[in-house]
Amino acid sequence: MMTSPSKWNKKWLSQSIVCLGGLLLSSVVLAVDAQPQIVPAPLWYSYALLSLLLSFLGIVLYYLYLYAHPLVVNLSANAKELLTLPMSTLPKAYHLLQRTRRLDSVLSKSAVPHKSLEEALQFVNMSPATRAEILATRLGAQVEEMSAGLFALQLPDSFPLNFEHSLLYFPNADLTDAEITAFLRQHATNQKVLIVSVDNTQVAALRSNGENTLWIVPDSRELSELLLSPKPTSVLVRLLVNQLKVTQISPYQTGGGVNKDTIFFGRTQM
């Protein structure tokens, strides 16, 4: 017996409804159970973020290095230490103080003009004539070139020690101790000589002669102080007292007694 069309349609319709219901139910279950999917970031984005973080970390470490550097810490706490820094350390101190914006403060507290610091920084590269003029200006003295690197130095009458007429010598850095000694024996016999050298080996060799000579040889720290101190005359007086025999710088002069009553044998009012 054949099924009538109406019954077949009803059966087909009921089956379709069941299937459609199943699909809807499955969709609801899947929608509830599904987890959100995270789309991975592009690889270039990760590299860019890492580079940015590393750059930021580098900047932080750099400024920590600047502000925590011993030179910056020490000079910020005691600006006058700038006066006695070794000549070779001055450029680094200048750079650090400038980068941390503390240069003006340190110079003000130590009473060092910008010009004096600039001259000290360039002193190593200057000609002997320029060096002589700078020292003469600071000491209120006059200089006259006598030979290569050798100058007559005339300090003012107000200078408290017997050192008005002396010599100022800037030896070349390639000269040995023996060569310097031979030169001075030829050109500066029995004369007081202020020897200004920027070579530490030369300085050590020349200073080893002690009071056996008429030479005054400032070391690197003393030279910095001579170039930077607001009282360069006092610095020179201290150098003379420490490196020469008392009788060589006393105010006593033959037949004239004591002409400088501000000092007695270089030991008073230093």
- What is the reported pLDDT for 7? 53
- What is the reported pLDDT for 270? 36
Domain assignment present for residue 173? The answer is yes
- Asked whether 220 and 241 are in contact (CB, 8 A), the reply is no
pTM beyond 0.75: no
- Domain residues for the domain of 179 are 127-258
Is the same domain home to 251 and 132?
yes
Domain assignment present for residue 160? The answer is yes
Q: Which residues contact 88 (CB under 8 A, 6 or more apart)?
A: 220
- What is the reported pLDDT for 22? 54
Is the same domain home to 69 and 151?
no
Domain assignment present for residue 1? The answer is no
Residue at which a domain ends, from 84, 112, 140: 112
Domain assignment present for residue 142? The answer is yes
- Asked whether 71 and 96 are in contact (CB, 8 A), the reply is yes
- What is the reported pLDDT for 61? 72
Count of domains observed in the chain: 2
- Asked whether 161 and 258 are in contact (CB, 8 A), the reply is no
- Give alpha helix (H) positions in the chain: 5-33, 43-68, 70-77, 90-99, 103-110, 114-122, 128-139, 177-187, 200-207, 220-228, 232-243, 246-249
Residue at which a domain ends, from 43, 77, 112: 112
Is the same domain home to 213 and 146?
yes
- What is the reported pLDDT for 237? 95
Please identify every stretch of the chain with a pLDDT value under 70, giving residue numbers as ranges: 1-42, 45, 60, 210-211, 251-270
Is the same domain home to 164 and 233?
yes
- What is the reported pLDDT for 218? 97
